[in-house]
Structure 1
């Protein structure tokens, strides 16, 4: 019922008459009717193809909390050595705690971590682990929901799911990130660049691909000075 030619999902490579609304705020033109990806997934896939050259380079890739369609596309690329990991996900290849990764130091050239860290009890420890398993010249690509406040909201008294639901709007969240997200990543030994990659497209192309507004990709690489 959604077939048409007005929008295009680059992940499942299908055209539709519309993307669907999604989220508590009912964002328009958000959800792909076929593969159920959102704006951030389509944007990341374009960035991986065009900037990382994911289809061309031999890379060791770690994908945290893998999105099924993105995992499928990445696993099918013969130039990648790909692993996916999560604490509980049935689609992940490895069941691991991001706060204590089982992989050797400097194992991965590329790590994908989208909308994960807000759900981790100790995000600083998780970032240190991600930095440890990243090669010296590798990239960690992060995405996170940023709230309107300047600094991250983190309530140490919100210990139960019910308390976290009241504090953050979701029972499985441990904080709501503010606009200091890049700084929080940087102090764990990263150099961080925030990329609003949708701006690489015209407004017409953004609507065609369903890229949304103000979605950032944080590109983190090893800083020269280690953990601050």
Structure 2
């Protein structure tokens, strides 16, 4: 139902209007999915169910958060990391609102292509801040879009404070990193990398090695999903990079 409704609205409204009126559509969905079986930790809405997407991810109908945002919030709270200066690349709307309310002026949400709510439009390969500026960096599903990813990693390391933390996630594959700079069309990239604007698929070990080469100490954690998890968390791999 959700996918059919979303595709119908996409055909009727331009992308900018759809983004602008998303909170209104979410209010309608919130009413329809309201219940007591689950709860989204991002918007704290109690639900009868999450929306299951095509690839198995779970979407909160009230705020649009995916499993990865909900688990990231859980990790930040458990480790008391929602403080200090925080750089957040392309945050989803619900996560942006929560972090912006909690951190105010010390929150730096950025989106290079104006597709997400953000105060800034930083190029990740040339971040306009002094060395050792941020306490925490959130870089979720960004690096697979960046042709010069090692340059981006060097910048993340540069602007992170000593003892700072950077949470990183991308799609992963088994084996080696797969990339080919000659693949440039949207159609070819979709076929090769799984999405029209991706330029590679990382392996966990390959991404870890590139981050270590940039200077980071790296921890890889695999989280397994509990059946019918109350907060709608799915299995995933998260890389934590330390300076």
The TM-score normalised by the length of structure 1 is 0.85
Cα distance between partner residues in 2 of 1:78 and 1:61: 8
- Name the CA shift for 1:51/1:80 in 2 (closer, same or farther; >3 Å): farther
**Pairs within 5 Å for 1:142-153:** 142-147=168-173, 149-153=174-178
Higher relative contact order (CA 8 A, sep 6+): 1
Q: How does 1:12-51 map to 2 (within 5 A)?
A: 12-23=43-54, 25=55, 27=56, 30-51=58-79
Structure with the largest fraction of helix? 2
The count of residues paired between Structure 1 and Structure 2 equals 210
Alpha-carbon offset, residue 198 of structure 1: 5.6
Cα shift readout 1:103-141 (whole Å, capped 9, x = no counterpart): 111110100111111011111111101111001121111
Q: Is 1:114 the equivalent of 2:147?
A: no
Q: Deviations over 1:17-61 (max 9, x none)?
A: 1111114x3x16x1111111111010000001111342xxx4111
Is the alpha carbon distance of 1:179 and 1:171 closer, same or farther for their aligned partners in structure 2, counting shifts above 3 Å?
same
From 86, 97, 107, give the equivalent of 1:72: 97
Tell whether the 8 Å contact from 1:47 to 1:197 is kept in structure 2 after alignment. Answer: no
Relative to the length of structure 2, the TM-score reads 0.80
How large is the Cα RMSD of the aligned pairs?
A: 1.9
Unaligned runs of 5+ in 1: 223-228
Once the two structures are superposed, the pairs formed by residues 1-228 of structure 1 within 5 Å of their partners are 1-23=32-54, 25=55, 27=56, 30-54=58-82, 58-78=83-103, 81-89=106-114, 91-147=117-173, 149-180=174-205, 181-197=207-223, 203=226, 207-213=229-235, 215-222=236-243
Aligned equivalents of 2:210 and 2:186: distance in 1? 24
Give the 3 Å change call, closer, same or farther, for CA 111–53 of structure 1 in structure 2: closer
How far apart, CA to CA, are the structure 2 residues paired with 1:101 and 1:78? 20
